[in-house]
Amino acid sequence: MPDETTTPSIETATFAAGCFWGVEAAFRQVKGVKATAVGFMGGGRDNPSYEDVCYRDTGHAEAVQVEFDPAQVSYEDLLDVFWDNHDPTQLNRQGPDVGDQYRSAVFYHSPGQQAAAIATKERRDKSGAYGPIVTEITAATTFWKAEEYHQQNLEKRCLATSHI
């Protein structure tokens, strides 16, 4: 029988940083990330579709849920990936993508995650390297997984074009 103390514990982190395809791809490169899924969080409609979120003002953000092994990668390291892979000073947009579904947000799953997110946001705000950071830090709610064709979309697109 395996020793339960050696069984890795997997934790969940959820981030919104614009279009979820690129955000997911960034997290998938991190050692210790065991799985990712793209979907929606922070809105007011149950089980929204991509079309609902984009065109029907549900209040959801495009989000990436990350399953990670904290023995291999810390939540703080994941926060660094989050901060470094988007512009946290843009309100309800990232580059050409505009709307509250593209907002910058950390959806925390524990008080420890909340404290870490607040601390890193304050540290980066005080560094002067950015303008004022508008990232929201809020408790995680239900994560609604996006349609299958959105999952690992950039990887799928690269594979499809590599055979041309």
List the strands of the sheet with 144-145, edge to edge: 136-139, 104-108, 11-17, 61-68, 33-41, 144-145
Name the maximum alpha-carbon separation found in the chain.
54
Which string of DSSP letters, residue by residue, matches 37-54?
EEEEES-SSSS--HHHHH
User: Token pair of 99, please?
Assistant: 């709307």
Q: What are phi and psi of 93, to 5 degrees?
A: -170, 160
Catalytic residue among 19, 53, 63, 106: 19
19 is catalytic: yes
Catalytic residues, by residue number, are: 19
